[in-house]
Structure 1
Amino acid sequence: MLLIRRGARFPAWRRTRPFWAGALLVLAGAEIAAVPLAPLSVLVGLGLGGIAALGIGAALVAAGLFLWFLPHTRHYVGIHAVILSVLSFAVTNLGGFLAGMLLGIAGGAMGFAWTPERPLEEPPEQPPQEPSRLPQPPAPPGHPPQKTLAAALPFVLLAATALPAPGPPPRAPGPVTTPRTPPTVTTTRFAPEGFTLARVAEVPTAGGPRRAMVLTMRAASLRDYRLRTRDGGGAELSLSADELRLGGRVTLYLTRLTGCVQGALCLTFTPDRLPVPPVAPPFVFMTDVTAEQALVTSGTIGADGLALSPGRSPAPPPPAPPPP
Protein backbone atom coordinates (compact mmCIF):
# COMPACT_ATOMS: atom_id res chain seq x y z
CA MET A 1 0.00 0.00 0.00
CA LEU A 2 2.87 2.38 0.75
CA LEU A 3 4.46 1.72 -2.67
CA ILE A 4 1.18 2.40 -4.41
CA ARG A 5 0.81 5.73 -2.65
CA ARG A 6 4.36 6.79 -3.54
CA GLY A 7 3.86 5.73 -7.16
CA ALA A 8 0.69 7.79 -7.36
CA ARG A 9 2.43 10.98 -6.18
CA PHE A 10 4.35 11.57 -9.40
CA PRO A 11 1.32 11.48 -11.77
CA ALA A 12 -0.54 13.80 -9.42
CA TRP A 13 2.45 16.18 -9.29
CA ARG A 14 2.86 16.03 -13.07
CA ARG A 15 -0.76 16.98 -13.73
CA THR A 16 -0.44 20.19 -11.73
CA ARG A 17 2.23 21.76 -13.97
CA PRO A 18 3.29 21.89 -17.66
CA PHE A 19 5.52 18.84 -17.25
CA TRP A 20 6.00 17.88 -20.92
CA ALA A 21 6.65 21.49 -21.94
CA GLY A 22 9.43 21.67 -19.34
CA ALA A 23 10.81 18.33 -20.53
CA LEU A 24 11.02 19.61 -24.12
CA LEU A 25 12.84 22.77 -22.98
CA VAL A 26 15.34 20.73 -20.94
CA LEU A 27 16.00 18.50 -23.97
CA ALA A 28 16.35 21.55 -26.24
CA GLY A 29 18.85 23.22 -23.93
CA ALA A 30 20.86 20.03 -23.52
CA GLU A 31 20.96 19.45 -27.29
CA ILE A 32 22.08 23.02 -28.10
CA ALA A 33 24.71 23.05 -25.34
CA ALA A 34 26.02 19.53 -26.06
CA VAL A 35 27.12 20.22 -29.64
CA PRO A 36 30.00 22.65 -28.84
CA LEU A 37 31.11 20.78 -25.68
CA ALA A 38 34.80 20.15 -26.20
CA PRO A 39 38.12 20.93 -24.55
CA LEU A 40 38.67 24.59 -23.74
CA SER A 41 41.04 25.12 -26.67
CA VAL A 42 38.43 23.86 -29.14
CA LEU A 43 35.67 25.90 -27.48
CA VAL A 44 37.72 29.08 -27.76
CA GLY A 45 38.35 28.26 -31.43
CA LEU A 46 34.60 28.09 -32.06
CA GLY A 47 34.34 31.71 -30.94
CA LEU A 48 31.05 33.44 -30.23
CA GLY A 49 28.95 30.57 -31.58
CA GLY A 50 30.30 28.04 -29.07
CA ILE A 51 30.00 30.35 -26.07
CA ALA A 52 26.50 31.48 -27.08
CA ALA A 53 25.40 27.85 -27.45
CA LEU A 54 26.37 27.14 -23.84
CA GLY A 55 24.56 30.25 -22.59
CA ILE A 56 21.34 29.67 -24.55
CA GLY A 57 21.37 25.97 -23.69
CA ALA A 58 21.69 26.72 -19.97
CA ALA A 59 18.89 29.32 -20.22
CA LEU A 60 16.52 26.82 -21.89
CA VAL A 61 17.27 24.18 -19.24
CA ALA A 62 16.53 26.77 -16.54
CA ALA A 63 13.27 27.65 -18.33
CA GLY A 64 12.24 23.99 -18.24
CA LEU A 65 12.96 23.78 -14.52
CA PHE A 66 10.92 26.95 -13.94
CA LEU A 67 7.94 25.31 -15.67
CA TRP A 68 8.32 22.28 -13.41
CA PHE A 69 8.75 23.99 -10.05
CA LEU A 70 7.19 27.43 -10.65
CA PRO A 71 4.31 26.76 -13.04
CA HIS A 72 2.68 30.14 -12.38
CA THR A 73 5.50 31.76 -14.43
CA ARG A 74 4.57 29.76 -17.55
CA HIS A 75 3.49 32.75 -19.66
CA TYR A 76 6.66 34.77 -19.09
CA VAL A 77 8.93 31.72 -19.40
CA GLY A 78 7.16 30.36 -22.49
CA ILE A 79 7.49 33.57 -24.50
CA HIS A 80 11.16 34.02 -23.63
CA ALA A 81 11.91 30.37 -24.37
CA VAL A 82 10.49 30.79 -27.89
CA ILE A 83 12.57 33.96 -28.42
CA LEU A 84 15.76 32.23 -27.23
CA SER A 85 15.07 29.23 -29.46
CA VAL A 86 14.65 31.40 -32.56
CA LEU A 87 17.75 33.42 -31.62
CA SER A 88 19.80 30.21 -31.31
CA PHE A 89 19.51 29.69 -35.09
CA ALA A 90 21.53 32.85 -35.72
CA VAL A 91 24.07 32.96 -32.89
CA THR A 92 24.79 29.24 -32.39
CA ASN A 93 25.27 26.22 -34.64
CA LEU A 94 21.95 26.72 -36.47
CA GLY A 95 20.02 26.12 -33.26
CA GLY A 96 21.64 22.78 -32.56
CA PHE A 97 21.24 21.84 -36.22
CA LEU A 98 17.52 22.81 -36.06
CA ALA A 99 16.64 20.05 -33.55
CA GLY A 100 17.23 22.16 -30.45
CA MET A 101 15.48 25.19 -31.95
CA LEU A 102 12.35 23.19 -32.86
CA LEU A 103 12.22 21.50 -29.45
CA GLY A 104 12.55 24.87 -27.73
CA ILE A 105 9.78 26.47 -29.83
CA ALA A 106 7.45 23.52 -29.14
CA GLY A 107 8.23 23.53 -25.42
CA GLY A 108 7.77 27.29 -25.07
CA ALA A 109 4.44 27.19 -26.94
CA MET A 110 3.17 24.28 -24.85
CA GLY A 111 4.21 26.00 -21.64
CA PHE A 112 2.47 29.24 -22.64
CA ALA A 113 -0.74 27.39 -23.60
CA TRP A 114 -0.91 25.16 -20.51
CA THR A 115 -3.76 25.76 -18.07
CA PRO A 116 -4.17 24.07 -14.68
CA GLU A 117 -6.83 21.42 -14.40
CA ARG A 118 -9.81 22.32 -12.27
CA PRO A 119 -10.65 19.78 -9.55
CA LEU A 120 -13.75 17.76 -10.26
CA GLU A 121 -16.36 18.56 -7.64
CA GLU A 122 -19.82 17.16 -7.43
CA PRO A 123 -22.34 19.94 -7.88
CA PRO A 124 -24.82 20.39 -5.06
CA GLU A 125 -28.20 18.91 -5.54
CA GLN A 126 -30.67 21.45 -6.86
CA PRO A 127 -34.37 21.13 -7.28
CA PRO A 128 -35.40 20.36 -10.82
CA GLN A 129 -36.29 23.44 -12.77
CA GLU A 130 -38.42 23.77 -15.79
CA PRO A 131 -36.24 24.34 -18.85
CA SER A 132 -36.39 27.85 -20.19
CA ARG A 133 -38.41 28.26 -23.31
CA LEU A 134 -36.42 31.27 -24.44
CA PRO A 135 -34.16 30.50 -27.43
CA GLN A 136 -30.48 30.42 -26.59
CA PRO A 137 -28.18 32.52 -28.80
CA PRO A 138 -26.06 30.29 -31.00
CA ALA A 139 -22.30 30.27 -30.55
CA PRO A 140 -20.48 32.46 -33.07
CA PRO A 141 -19.33 30.34 -36.01
CA GLY A 142 -15.65 29.67 -36.34
CA HIS A 143 -14.82 30.92 -32.84
CA PRO A 144 -11.67 29.01 -31.77
CA PRO A 145 -11.30 27.90 -28.16
CA GLN A 146 -9.05 29.86 -25.82
CA LYS A 147 -6.44 27.09 -25.61
CA THR A 148 -6.03 27.07 -29.37
CA LEU A 149 -5.38 30.83 -29.41
CA ALA A 150 -2.86 30.54 -26.57
CA ALA A 151 -0.97 27.72 -28.28
CA ALA A 152 -0.87 29.54 -31.60
CA LEU A 153 0.33 32.88 -30.16
CA PRO A 154 4.09 32.09 -30.11
CA PHE A 155 3.95 30.86 -33.71
CA VAL A 156 2.07 34.00 -34.77
CA LEU A 157 4.78 36.12 -33.12
CA LEU A 158 7.47 34.07 -34.89
CA ALA A 159 5.76 34.48 -38.26
CA ALA A 160 5.35 38.22 -37.69
CA THR A 161 9.08 38.66 -37.08
CA ALA A 162 9.84 36.76 -40.30
CA LEU A 163 7.78 39.13 -42.46
CA PRO A 164 9.87 41.62 -44.44
CA ALA A 165 9.71 45.26 -43.47
CA PRO A 166 7.08 47.31 -45.31
CA GLY A 167 8.37 49.20 -48.24
CA PRO A 168 8.37 49.32 -52.03
CA PRO A 169 8.90 46.00 -53.80
CA PRO A 170 12.42 45.19 -55.04
CA ARG A 171 13.19 46.79 -58.35
CA ALA A 172 14.23 44.61 -61.26
CA PRO A 173 17.30 45.52 -63.27
CA GLY A 174 15.09 46.59 -66.20
CA PRO A 175 16.93 47.86 -69.28
CA VAL A 176 20.24 48.31 -67.41
CA THR A 177 22.95 46.18 -69.03
CA THR A 178 25.73 45.05 -66.75
CA PRO A 179 29.34 44.54 -67.91
CA ARG A 180 30.43 41.30 -69.48
CA THR A 181 32.80 40.73 -66.53
CA PRO A 182 31.17 41.60 -63.17
CA PRO A 183 33.12 43.98 -60.90
CA THR A 184 34.93 42.39 -57.96
CA VAL A 185 33.95 43.55 -54.47
CA THR A 186 35.88 42.84 -51.27
CA THR A 187 34.93 43.79 -47.70
CA THR A 188 36.17 42.76 -44.29
CA ARG A 189 32.63 42.65 -42.83
CA PHE A 190 29.26 42.41 -44.57
CA ALA A 191 26.37 42.93 -42.13
CA PRO A 192 22.80 42.91 -43.52
CA GLU A 193 19.93 44.24 -41.45
CA GLY A 194 16.66 42.34 -41.18
CA PHE A 195 15.95 39.01 -42.82
CA THR A 196 17.93 38.24 -45.98
CA LEU A 197 16.10 36.36 -48.76
CA ALA A 198 18.00 34.56 -51.54
CA ARG A 199 16.77 33.50 -54.97
CA VAL A 200 18.07 33.13 -58.55
CA ALA A 201 17.26 35.38 -61.52
CA GLU A 202 18.73 36.34 -64.89
CA VAL A 203 20.31 39.75 -65.42
CA PRO A 204 21.14 41.24 -68.84
CA THR A 205 24.87 41.64 -69.51
CA ALA A 206 26.93 42.77 -72.48
CA GLY A 207 27.51 39.09 -73.26
CA GLY A 208 23.85 38.05 -72.94
CA PRO A 209 21.64 37.04 -69.99
CA ARG A 210 23.45 35.57 -67.02
CA ARG A 211 22.13 33.79 -63.91
CA ALA A 212 22.81 35.57 -60.62
CA MET A 213 21.93 35.25 -56.96
CA VAL A 214 19.45 37.90 -55.80
CA LEU A 215 19.79 38.89 -52.13
CA THR A 216 17.15 41.24 -50.71
CA MET A 217 17.33 42.88 -47.28
CA ARG A 218 16.19 46.01 -45.48
CA ALA A 219 19.66 47.58 -45.26
CA ALA A 220 23.33 46.58 -45.17
CA SER A 221 26.73 47.90 -44.14
CA LEU A 222 30.10 46.98 -45.67
CA ARG A 223 33.35 47.76 -43.85
CA ASP A 224 36.62 48.39 -45.77
CA TYR A 225 34.72 48.31 -49.07
CA ARG A 226 36.75 47.85 -52.28
CA LEU A 227 35.36 47.62 -55.82
CA ARG A 228 37.45 46.99 -58.93
CA THR A 229 36.04 47.34 -62.43
CA ARG A 230 37.00 48.52 -65.93
CA ASP A 231 35.75 51.50 -67.89
CA GLY A 232 34.78 51.52 -71.55
CA GLY A 233 38.40 51.82 -72.65
CA GLY A 234 39.52 48.81 -70.64
CA ALA A 235 41.32 50.79 -67.91
CA GLU A 236 40.91 49.43 -64.38
CA LEU A 237 39.14 51.64 -61.83
CA SER A 238 39.10 51.17 -58.06
CA LEU A 239 36.43 52.51 -55.69
CA SER A 240 37.09 52.30 -51.94
CA ALA A 241 35.32 53.39 -48.73
CA ASP A 242 36.00 52.94 -45.05
CA GLU A 243 32.32 52.00 -44.64
CA LEU A 244 29.51 51.78 -47.18
CA ARG A 245 25.90 51.92 -45.97
CA LEU A 246 22.98 50.84 -48.16
CA GLY A 247 19.38 51.46 -47.14
CA GLY A 248 15.85 51.56 -48.42
CA ARG A 249 15.22 47.99 -49.61
CA VAL A 250 18.61 46.74 -50.82
CA THR A 251 18.86 44.20 -53.66
CA LEU A 252 22.20 42.63 -54.60
CA TYR A 253 22.76 40.66 -57.83
CA LEU A 254 25.84 38.46 -57.34
CA THR A 255 27.31 35.77 -59.57
CA ARG A 256 29.60 34.52 -56.79
CA LEU A 257 29.93 35.11 -53.04
CA THR A 258 32.73 33.84 -50.77
CA GLY A 259 33.04 34.62 -47.07
CA CYS A 260 33.06 33.34 -43.50
CA VAL A 261 29.65 33.18 -41.79
CA GLN A 262 29.86 34.64 -38.26
CA GLY A 263 33.64 34.81 -38.90
CA ALA A 264 33.98 31.04 -38.38
CA LEU A 265 32.49 28.94 -41.21
CA CYS A 266 33.91 29.89 -44.65
CA LEU A 267 31.64 29.06 -47.60
CA THR A 268 31.20 29.85 -51.29
CA PHE A 269 27.77 30.51 -52.81
CA THR A 270 26.85 30.58 -56.52
CA PRO A 271 23.53 30.57 -58.43
CA ASP A 272 23.80 26.76 -58.48
CA ARG A 273 24.60 26.58 -54.76
CA LEU A 274 22.29 28.82 -52.77
CA PRO A 275 22.44 28.88 -48.96
CA VAL A 276 20.18 26.35 -47.24
CA PRO A 277 17.71 27.49 -46.07
CA PRO A 278 17.51 30.49 -48.45
CA VAL A 279 16.50 32.78 -45.55
CA ALA A 280 19.10 34.24 -43.17
CA PRO A 281 17.78 35.68 -39.88
CA PRO A 282 18.98 38.98 -38.40
CA PHE A 283 22.34 39.25 -36.61
CA VAL A 284 24.04 37.01 -39.23
CA PHE A 285 27.13 38.61 -40.75
CA MET A 286 30.06 37.55 -42.97
CA THR A 287 33.75 38.43 -42.81
CA ASP A 288 36.52 38.38 -45.45
CA VAL A 289 33.96 38.63 -48.25
CA THR A 290 34.84 38.50 -51.94
CA ALA A 291 31.98 38.80 -54.43
CA GLU A 292 31.33 39.26 -58.13
CA GLN A 293 28.69 41.97 -58.16
CA ALA A 294 26.63 42.24 -61.32
CA LEU A 295 24.23 44.90 -60.04
CA VAL A 296 23.03 46.56 -56.83
CA THR A 297 19.91 48.67 -56.17
CA SER A 298 19.06 50.59 -53.00
CA GLY A 299 17.08 53.59 -51.91
CA THR A 300 19.97 55.38 -50.17
CA ILE A 301 23.76 55.09 -50.23
CA GLY A 302 26.11 56.55 -47.62
CA ALA A 303 29.89 56.27 -47.45
CA ASP A 304 32.75 57.29 -45.18
CA GLY A 305 36.15 57.94 -46.74
CA LEU A 306 34.99 57.41 -50.33
CA ALA A 307 37.81 57.48 -52.90
CA LEU A 308 38.06 56.74 -56.62
CA SER A 309 41.45 55.93 -58.07
CA PRO A 310 42.52 54.79 -61.54
CA GLY A 311 44.09 51.37 -61.78
CA ARG A 312 46.33 49.85 -64.32
CA SER A 313 45.65 50.66 -67.95
CA PRO A 314 45.79 47.90 -70.54
CA ALA A 315 49.23 47.48 -72.07
CA PRO A 316 49.52 49.04 -75.57
CA PRO A 317 49.93 46.59 -78.42
CA PRO A 318 53.50 46.02 -79.61
CA PRO A 319 54.60 48.20 -82.57
CA ALA A 320 54.27 46.66 -85.98
CA PRO A 321 57.56 45.57 -87.58
CA PRO A 322 58.92 47.95 -90.25
CA PRO A 323 58.20 46.96 -93.83
CA PRO A 324 61.10 45.22 -95.58
Structure 2
Amino acid sequence: MLPLTRHRARLRAWRRQRPFWGGLLLVLAGTELLLVPLAPVGVLVGLGLGGIAALGIGAALIVAGLFLWWLPQARAYVSVHALLLSVLSFVVTNLGGFFVGALLGIAGGALAFGWTPLRDAEAEEAEEEGPYRRSPDAPGPPRVLAAALPVALVAALAGGAPPARAATAVAAGAGASGGQGPPAAARTPPTVTTSLFAPRGFALAGVTEVATVDGPRRVLVLKMAAASLRDYRLRTRDGGREYGLAARSLELRGDVTLYLTRFSGCIEGLLCVTFSPDGLPAPPVVPPFVFMTQVSAEQALVTSDEIVTDGLRLEAS
Protein backbone atom coordinates (compact mmCIF):
# COMPACT_ATOMS: atom_id res chain seq x y z
CA MET A 1 0.00 0.00 0.00
CA LEU A 2 1.32 3.42 -0.90
CA PRO A 3 2.16 5.75 2.01
CA LEU A 4 -0.20 8.56 3.00
CA THR A 5 -3.06 6.99 1.00
CA ARG A 6 -5.71 8.69 3.11
CA HIS A 7 -4.19 12.14 2.71
CA ARG A 8 -3.67 11.69 -1.01
CA ALA A 9 -7.33 10.68 -1.43
CA ARG A 10 -8.46 13.80 0.42
CA LEU A 11 -6.14 15.99 -1.63
CA ARG A 12 -7.47 14.41 -4.85
CA ALA A 13 -11.08 15.06 -3.82
CA TRP A 14 -10.26 18.67 -2.84
CA ARG A 15 -8.37 19.24 -6.11
CA ARG A 16 -11.25 18.00 -8.28
CA GLN A 17 -13.70 20.45 -6.72
CA ARG A 18 -11.86 23.56 -7.93
CA PRO A 19 -9.78 24.71 -10.95
CA PHE A 20 -6.60 23.50 -9.28
CA TRP A 21 -4.27 23.38 -12.28
CA GLY A 22 -5.37 26.79 -13.54
CA GLY A 23 -4.67 28.25 -10.11
CA LEU A 24 -1.30 26.51 -9.94
CA LEU A 25 -0.24 27.95 -13.31
CA LEU A 26 -1.26 31.44 -12.18
CA VAL A 27 0.77 31.10 -8.99
CA LEU A 28 3.78 29.97 -11.03
CA ALA A 29 3.27 32.83 -13.49
CA GLY A 30 3.12 35.39 -10.69
CA THR A 31 6.20 33.93 -9.02
CA GLU A 32 8.15 34.09 -12.29
CA LEU A 33 7.16 37.73 -12.84
CA LEU A 34 8.21 38.57 -9.28
CA LEU A 35 11.64 36.94 -9.75
CA VAL A 36 12.47 38.63 -13.07
CA PRO A 37 13.26 42.07 -11.51
CA LEU A 38 15.80 40.26 -9.29
CA ALA A 39 17.83 39.14 -12.32
CA PRO A 40 21.10 40.92 -13.17
CA VAL A 41 20.53 44.38 -14.59
CA GLY A 42 22.31 43.49 -17.81
CA VAL A 43 19.76 40.77 -18.51
CA LEU A 44 16.70 42.96 -18.08
CA VAL A 45 15.06 44.72 -20.98
CA GLY A 46 14.16 47.56 -18.65
CA LEU A 47 13.87 48.04 -14.90
CA GLY A 48 12.20 51.23 -13.66
CA LEU A 49 8.45 51.16 -14.17
CA GLY A 50 8.70 47.76 -15.81
CA GLY A 51 10.15 46.28 -12.65
CA ILE A 52 7.48 47.91 -10.49
CA ALA A 53 4.74 46.66 -12.84
CA ALA A 54 6.22 43.16 -12.73
CA LEU A 55 5.99 43.17 -8.94
CA GLY A 56 2.36 44.35 -9.00
CA ILE A 57 1.17 42.01 -11.75
CA GLY A 58 3.09 39.08 -10.29
CA ALA A 59 1.51 39.58 -6.88
CA ALA A 60 -1.93 39.95 -8.47
CA LEU A 61 -1.55 36.68 -10.40
CA ILE A 62 -0.50 34.82 -7.24
CA VAL A 63 -3.56 36.18 -5.42
CA ALA A 64 -5.73 35.17 -8.40
CA GLY A 65 -4.39 31.62 -8.22
CA LEU A 66 -5.16 31.42 -4.50
CA PHE A 67 -8.67 32.78 -5.15
CA LEU A 68 -9.27 29.98 -7.65
CA TRP A 69 -8.34 27.43 -4.99
CA TRP A 70 -10.35 28.84 -2.11
CA LEU A 71 -13.22 30.60 -3.96
CA PRO A 72 -13.85 28.48 -7.08
CA GLN A 73 -17.31 30.03 -7.51
CA ALA A 74 -15.58 33.28 -8.50
CA ARG A 75 -13.53 31.61 -11.25
CA ALA A 76 -15.24 33.49 -14.11
CA TYR A 77 -14.18 36.91 -12.79
CA VAL A 78 -10.78 35.87 -11.50
CA SER A 79 -9.75 34.05 -14.68
CA VAL A 80 -10.76 36.94 -16.96
CA HIS A 81 -8.76 39.43 -14.87
CA ALA A 82 -5.80 37.04 -14.82
CA LEU A 83 -5.90 36.76 -18.61
CA LEU A 84 -5.95 40.53 -18.99
CA LEU A 85 -3.05 40.98 -16.58
CA SER A 86 -1.04 38.26 -18.34
CA VAL A 87 -1.51 39.91 -21.73
CA LEU A 88 -0.72 43.32 -20.22
CA SER A 89 2.54 41.98 -18.81
CA PHE A 90 3.93 41.73 -22.37
CA VAL A 91 3.83 45.52 -22.62
CA VAL A 92 4.54 46.85 -19.13
CA THR A 93 7.05 44.28 -17.86
CA ASN A 94 10.11 42.65 -19.36
CA LEU A 95 8.23 41.00 -22.24
CA GLY A 96 5.96 39.26 -19.77
CA GLY A 97 8.85 37.79 -17.80
CA PHE A 98 10.59 36.85 -21.05
CA PHE A 99 7.34 35.27 -22.27
CA VAL A 100 7.37 32.56 -19.58
CA GLY A 101 5.25 34.35 -16.98
CA ALA A 102 2.80 35.73 -19.53
CA LEU A 103 2.28 32.37 -21.24
CA LEU A 104 1.82 30.59 -17.91
CA GLY A 105 -0.73 33.23 -16.88
CA ILE A 106 -2.66 32.96 -20.15
CA ALA A 107 -2.74 29.15 -19.92
CA GLY A 108 -3.81 29.23 -16.26
CA GLY A 109 -6.53 31.79 -16.88
CA ALA A 110 -7.86 29.83 -19.85
CA LEU A 111 -7.90 26.56 -17.87
CA ALA A 112 -9.71 28.21 -14.97
CA PHE A 113 -12.29 29.88 -17.20
CA GLY A 114 -13.09 26.61 -18.98
CA TRP A 115 -13.27 24.53 -15.79
CA THR A 116 -16.73 23.32 -14.70
CA PRO A 117 -17.57 21.91 -11.27
CA LEU A 118 -18.28 18.23 -10.79
CA ARG A 119 -21.88 17.22 -10.32
CA ASP A 120 -22.86 15.92 -6.91
CA ALA A 121 -22.64 12.25 -7.94
CA GLU A 122 -19.26 12.75 -9.59
CA ALA A 123 -17.93 14.67 -6.60
CA GLU A 124 -19.10 11.92 -4.26
CA GLU A 125 -17.47 9.29 -6.46
CA ALA A 126 -14.24 11.28 -6.44
CA GLU A 127 -14.28 11.43 -2.65
CA GLU A 128 -14.88 7.68 -2.41
CA GLU A 129 -11.72 6.84 -4.37
CA GLY A 130 -9.21 5.18 -2.14
CA PRO A 131 -9.90 3.23 1.08
CA TYR A 132 -11.12 6.28 2.97
CA ARG A 133 -14.02 8.63 2.34
CA ARG A 134 -14.23 12.15 3.66
CA SER A 135 -17.33 12.74 5.72
CA PRO A 136 -19.61 15.54 4.46
CA ASP A 137 -19.45 18.89 6.17
CA ALA A 138 -21.81 19.25 9.07
CA PRO A 139 -24.40 22.01 8.81
CA GLY A 140 -23.30 25.35 10.14
CA PRO A 141 -24.47 26.77 13.47
CA PRO A 142 -28.14 27.75 13.53
CA ARG A 143 -29.01 31.42 13.20
CA VAL A 144 -32.13 33.27 14.26
CA LEU A 145 -33.69 34.39 10.98
CA ALA A 146 -36.96 35.87 9.84
CA ALA A 147 -39.47 33.79 7.92
CA ALA A 148 -39.50 33.72 4.16
CA LEU A 149 -40.52 37.08 2.73
CA PRO A 150 -43.84 36.09 1.13
CA VAL A 151 -44.99 34.30 4.29
CA ALA A 152 -44.04 37.24 6.53
CA LEU A 153 -45.74 39.83 4.36
CA VAL A 154 -48.95 37.87 3.80
CA ALA A 155 -49.14 37.10 7.52
CA ALA A 156 -48.66 40.77 8.33
CA LEU A 157 -51.48 41.77 5.99
CA ALA A 158 -53.81 39.08 7.32
CA GLY A 159 -53.11 40.17 10.88
CA GLY A 160 -54.01 43.78 10.15
CA ALA A 161 -50.52 45.20 10.56
CA PRO A 162 -50.04 48.78 9.37
CA PRO A 163 -49.01 48.85 5.69
CA ALA A 164 -46.02 51.04 6.46
CA ARG A 165 -44.26 48.35 8.51
CA ALA A 166 -44.51 44.57 8.17
CA ALA A 167 -44.07 42.80 11.48
CA THR A 168 -40.93 40.67 11.85
CA ALA A 169 -41.28 36.95 12.34
CA VAL A 170 -38.08 35.84 13.98
CA ALA A 171 -39.72 33.10 16.01
CA ALA A 172 -41.54 31.75 12.98
CA GLY A 173 -38.34 31.61 10.96
CA ALA A 174 -36.49 29.76 13.68
CA GLY A 175 -39.30 27.25 14.04
CA ALA A 176 -39.54 26.61 10.32
CA SER A 177 -35.84 25.95 10.06
CA GLY A 178 -35.89 23.52 12.99
CA GLY A 179 -32.68 25.12 14.28
CA GLN A 180 -30.77 23.92 11.20
CA GLY A 181 -30.36 26.94 8.93
CA PRO A 182 -33.02 28.43 6.63
CA PRO A 183 -36.58 27.06 6.38
CA ALA A 184 -37.63 24.88 3.45
CA ALA A 185 -38.19 26.65 0.14
CA ALA A 186 -41.22 26.43 -2.12
CA ARG A 187 -41.36 23.83 -4.88
CA THR A 188 -41.44 26.57 -7.56
CA PRO A 189 -39.61 29.80 -6.63
CA PRO A 190 -41.74 32.94 -7.05
CA THR A 191 -40.62 35.63 -9.48
CA VAL A 192 -39.55 38.99 -8.08
CA THR A 193 -39.05 42.16 -10.11
CA THR A 194 -37.86 45.56 -8.91
CA SER A 195 -36.70 48.70 -10.66
CA LEU A 196 -33.84 49.20 -8.17
CA PHE A 197 -31.94 46.85 -5.88
CA ALA A 198 -29.37 48.53 -3.62
CA PRO A 199 -27.56 46.58 -0.87
CA ARG A 200 -26.21 48.50 2.10
CA GLY A 201 -22.71 47.72 3.20
CA PHE A 202 -20.64 44.97 1.66
CA ALA A 203 -22.58 41.99 0.29
CA LEU A 204 -21.09 38.49 0.35
CA ALA A 205 -22.08 35.96 -2.32
CA GLY A 206 -21.75 32.21 -2.68
CA VAL A 207 -23.53 29.04 -3.74
CA THR A 208 -25.34 26.59 -1.45
CA GLU A 209 -28.36 24.27 -1.35
CA VAL A 210 -31.78 24.76 0.24
CA ALA A 211 -34.31 22.07 1.04
CA THR A 212 -37.55 21.76 -0.96
CA VAL A 213 -40.26 19.10 -1.13
CA ASP A 214 -38.59 17.87 -4.33
CA GLY A 215 -35.18 17.61 -2.70
CA PRO A 216 -32.25 20.04 -2.33
CA ARG A 217 -31.88 22.85 -4.85
CA ARG A 218 -28.72 24.81 -5.67
CA VAL A 219 -29.11 28.54 -5.13
CA LEU A 220 -27.09 31.72 -5.10
CA VAL A 221 -26.69 33.23 -1.63
CA LEU A 222 -26.37 36.98 -1.05
CA LYS A 223 -25.72 38.12 2.53
CA MET A 224 -25.81 41.78 3.55
CA ALA A 225 -26.70 44.06 6.45
CA ALA A 226 -29.67 45.67 4.65
CA ALA A 227 -31.14 46.19 1.19
CA SER A 228 -33.53 48.63 -0.47
CA LEU A 229 -35.90 47.70 -3.31
CA ARG A 230 -38.07 50.06 -5.36
CA ASP A 231 -41.27 49.14 -7.26
CA TYR A 232 -41.27 45.68 -5.71
CA ARG A 233 -43.39 42.94 -7.33
CA LEU A 234 -43.63 39.28 -6.30
CA ARG A 235 -45.65 36.66 -8.20
CA THR A 236 -46.04 32.98 -7.34
CA ARG A 237 -45.60 30.42 -10.12
CA ASP A 238 -47.10 27.25 -8.68
CA GLY A 239 -49.96 27.20 -11.18
CA GLY A 240 -53.67 27.41 -10.49
CA ARG A 241 -54.59 30.36 -8.32
CA GLU A 242 -51.64 32.72 -8.18
CA TYR A 243 -50.87 35.36 -5.59
CA GLY A 244 -48.66 38.39 -5.66
CA LEU A 245 -47.31 41.19 -3.52
CA ALA A 246 -46.59 44.73 -4.64
CA ALA A 247 -45.05 47.72 -2.88
CA ARG A 248 -43.70 51.12 -3.84
CA SER A 249 -40.62 50.43 -1.76
CA LEU A 250 -39.37 47.63 0.45
CA GLU A 251 -36.46 47.55 2.88
CA LEU A 252 -34.84 44.47 4.41
CA ARG A 253 -32.91 45.22 7.58
CA GLY A 254 -30.68 43.20 9.86
CA ASP A 255 -28.85 40.04 8.76
CA VAL A 256 -30.42 39.82 5.30
CA THR A 257 -29.91 36.62 3.28
CA LEU A 258 -31.26 36.08 -0.24
CA TYR A 259 -31.49 32.58 -1.73
CA LEU A 260 -31.96 32.91 -5.51
CA THR A 261 -32.10 30.35 -8.31
CA ARG A 262 -31.62 33.11 -10.89
CA PHE A 263 -30.78 36.80 -10.64
CA SER A 264 -30.58 39.25 -13.54
CA GLY A 265 -30.32 43.00 -13.83
CA CYS A 266 -28.20 45.91 -15.02
CA ILE A 267 -25.21 46.79 -12.82
CA GLU A 268 -25.14 50.55 -12.25
CA GLY A 269 -27.89 50.63 -14.91
CA LEU A 270 -25.28 49.94 -17.62
CA LEU A 271 -24.05 46.33 -17.77
CA CYS A 272 -26.90 43.79 -17.89
CA VAL A 273 -26.00 40.28 -16.71
CA THR A 274 -27.70 37.12 -15.45
CA PHE A 275 -26.32 35.17 -12.49
CA SER A 276 -27.17 31.55 -11.62
CA PRO A 277 -25.65 28.80 -9.43
CA ASP A 278 -24.59 26.69 -12.43
CA GLY A 279 -23.85 29.52 -14.87
CA LEU A 280 -22.22 32.84 -14.10
CA PRO A 281 -21.83 33.08 -10.30
CA ALA A 282 -22.11 36.37 -8.46
CA PRO A 283 -18.85 38.06 -7.37
CA PRO A 284 -17.77 36.86 -3.89
CA VAL A 285 -17.80 40.44 -2.54
CA VAL A 286 -20.04 43.27 -3.76
CA PRO A 287 -19.00 46.82 -2.73
CA PRO A 288 -21.64 49.01 -1.03
CA PHE A 289 -21.76 51.53 -3.91
CA VAL A 290 -22.93 48.92 -6.46
CA PHE A 291 -26.64 48.84 -7.31
CA MET A 292 -28.74 47.10 -9.97
CA THR A 293 -31.71 48.25 -12.04
CA GLN A 294 -34.37 46.30 -13.96
CA VAL A 295 -33.91 43.35 -11.63
CA SER A 296 -35.72 40.05 -12.18
CA ALA A 297 -35.09 37.10 -9.88
CA GLU A 298 -36.39 33.67 -8.99
CA GLN A 299 -36.50 33.83 -5.22
CA ALA A 300 -36.26 30.57 -3.30
CA LEU A 301 -36.09 32.23 0.12
CA VAL A 302 -35.45 35.60 1.74
CA THR A 303 -34.65 35.89 5.43
CA SER A 304 -34.37 39.13 7.37
CA ASP A 305 -34.75 40.45 10.89
CA GLU A 306 -37.05 43.27 9.80
CA ILE A 307 -39.13 44.12 6.72
CA VAL A 308 -40.33 47.70 6.15
CA THR A 309 -42.66 48.49 3.25
CA ASP A 310 -44.48 51.44 1.73
CA GLY A 311 -47.72 50.98 -0.22
CA LEU A 312 -47.91 47.20 0.31
CA ARG A 313 -50.84 45.38 -1.28
CA LEU A 314 -51.80 41.76 -1.88
CA GLU A 315 -52.91 40.65 -5.35
CA ALA A 316 -54.61 37.43 -6.49
CA SER A 317 -55.46 36.09 -9.93
- TM-score of the pair, normalised by structure 2: 0.44
The structure whose Rg is larger is 1
Query: Which structure's relative contact order is higher, taking Cα pairs within 8 Å and 6+ residues apart?
Result: 2
- TM-score of the pair, normalised by structure 1: 0.43
